[in-house]
Amino acid sequence: MHILTDFPFQLVVASNLFAWNFPKKSRFALRQLVFLPLLIIYEVGTSTYGYHILQNPILDESILLIPVSYIFCGLLFCYKCSVSEAILCTASAHPAQNLVYNLSRVVFLLTGVEEDRLPAMFIALAVMVAAYAVLYQRFAVRMSDILGFGLPQGRLLINAVIVMLFVVYLYPMIPEKNLTVLFIFIVGDILALIMQFGFFTESALERKYQVVEELLRAEQKRQRLITENTEIINRKCHDLKHQVAALRQMGDGPERQKYIKEIESAVMIYESAIRTGCETLDLLMMEKLLFCEEHNIKLTCVADGTLISWMDTMDIYSLFGNALDNAIESVMQEKDKAHRIISFRISSNRSFVIVHFENYVSHEIILRNGLPVTSKEDQDYHGFGLLSIQHVTEKYGGTMSVMTEENLFCLNLIFPQKPAA
């Protein structure tokens, strides 16, 4: 049997295929090379003594669990992934490896090429490249859709156990593997991958919409509170201006003038509120400006609010509220208050609305499939702000993109302008 079709080698390739889009740890290539010597020792040992040195079918087949466990640890060693993510990749690698192996066997049987001959190596390589390319496009790229919402731990473990029982124990116990048997196993491997990814994708989508709905309900409640608070503030500002005018008529004095300046400074915060042309956005900006003023954050806005005034009120709160909250949360981590800078703009280009947010960041931001990886413990909630933004943007036929350049984190939204009535 050629090394390209051997179980350990195929499992290494398949597991890396599913984990490839994960952030990689430093010295990634060196970390991968560290594992090669032990795999070579395992391969030499099984090639010399076979898988039946213990004279017990169950114990002999359990030897295959050695590279499985080893590669699982290798994923944790080489990639920035959780235990659950490593389990899913390892469990997905099993049917993928088995599929490629069976496809190679079918080609060998159909062409009559002996597996220990040189032409078999080229055939196995061609089958492996073609098969893994398809598997990557059909399954591996969907990992982010599954992992972005957490994994149901119990079902994940059950799924992994079933896959291992099939590949490690059931498959090797079938003595004769003719074309019919191989085709059955190929179909079974494909169905296993489809069912596995279909199940976890469906579970992720359910969690996604649950969280988005919860976020939208929270935004609705928040909007009512902001409106009520703004009305109260406006009334107090109106009263304060009259009180200041009355104080000026009562004579002069250093202490009273100082007191008057403090009142006027407080009032100016509200008087200098940004006017964008969109009442909903103005209310939101009032709240954010007050918070930023209190926490020494410089927030600048150049926005034509009329470009988004036609959008649903709840969607405006969700989109801009989440974007600004993320930016504020990020700059609040900056110890140097001079770096607490946020800016955003709303403009148009031809028939598109362009929304751009940016804020200063001094720490490294890891992007996975175009989205930042959260560093918080609360994996269920934190990070769904961006998903809510993406949900609203796509609702209006737009796209969302995230990028980092030097010490800037940028969020860009582009969607069509409202068609003329």
| Per-residue pLDDT tens digits of the chain, which is 421 residues long | 455 566 677 778 888 888 888 888 888 888 888 776 666 666 555 554 444 444 555 444 555 566 677 778 888 888 887 787 788 888 888 888 888 888 888 888 888 877 777 777 788 888 888 998 998 888 887 776 666 555 555 566 666 666 666 655 555 555 556 788 888 888 888 888 887 777 777 766 676 676 667 666 666 666 665 666 666 667 667 766 766 666 666 666 666 666 666 666 655 555 556 788 898 898 888 878 877 877 889 998 899 999 998 998 888 988 998 899 889 888 988 888 889 999 999 999 888 999 999 999 987 777 766 677 655 444 443 456 787 788 888 888 899 999 888 889 999 999 998 765 4
- Residues 6 or more apart from 361 whose CB is under 8 A from it? 330, 331, 404, 407, 408, 409
**CATH 3.30.565.10 domain range(s) in the chain:** 275-421
Instruction: Kindly tell me the burial class for residue 151, based on how many C-beta atoms sit within 10 Å of its own C-beta (0-12, 13-18, 19 or more).
Output: buried
Cα separation, 217 vs 100, in Å, equals 47
Long-range contacts of the stretch 228-236 (C-beta < 8 A, 24+): 229/287, 230/283, 230/286, 230/287, 233/270, 233/286, 234/270
HSE (CB half, 13 Å, CA atoms) of 203?
A: 18
Strands of 399-405's sheet in order across: 298-303, 341-349, 352-360, 408-416, 399-405
Is 222 within 8 Å of 320 (Cβ atoms)? no
Please check whether residue 291 is in contact with residue 334, taking contact to mean a CB–CB distance below 8 angstroms. Answer: no
Q: Output the six-digit token pair for 240.
A: 């304060």
Sign of the dihedral through C-alpha 122, 112, 136, 157: negative
Work out the burial of residue 127: count CB atoms within 10 Å of its CB; fewer than 13 is exposed, 13-18 middle, 19 or more buried: buried
Exposed e or buried b per residue across 170-195, where buried means at least 16 C-beta atoms within 10 angstroms of its C-beta: ebeeeeebeeeebeebbebbeebbee
Give 79's DSSP letter.
B
The CA-atom distances, in angstroms, between 285 and each of 63, 276, 279, 346 are: 63, 9, 10, 13
Radius of gyration over every alpha carbon of the chain, rounded to an integer in angstroms: 30
Number of helices (H), then strands (E), belonging to the chain: the values are 14, 7
Total length of the chain: 421
Domain 275-421 has CATH 3.30.565.10: yes
Residue 64 burial (C-beta neighbours within 10 Å; 0-12, 13-18, 19+): buried
Which of 222, 201, 219 shows the shortest CA–CA distance to 211?
A: 219
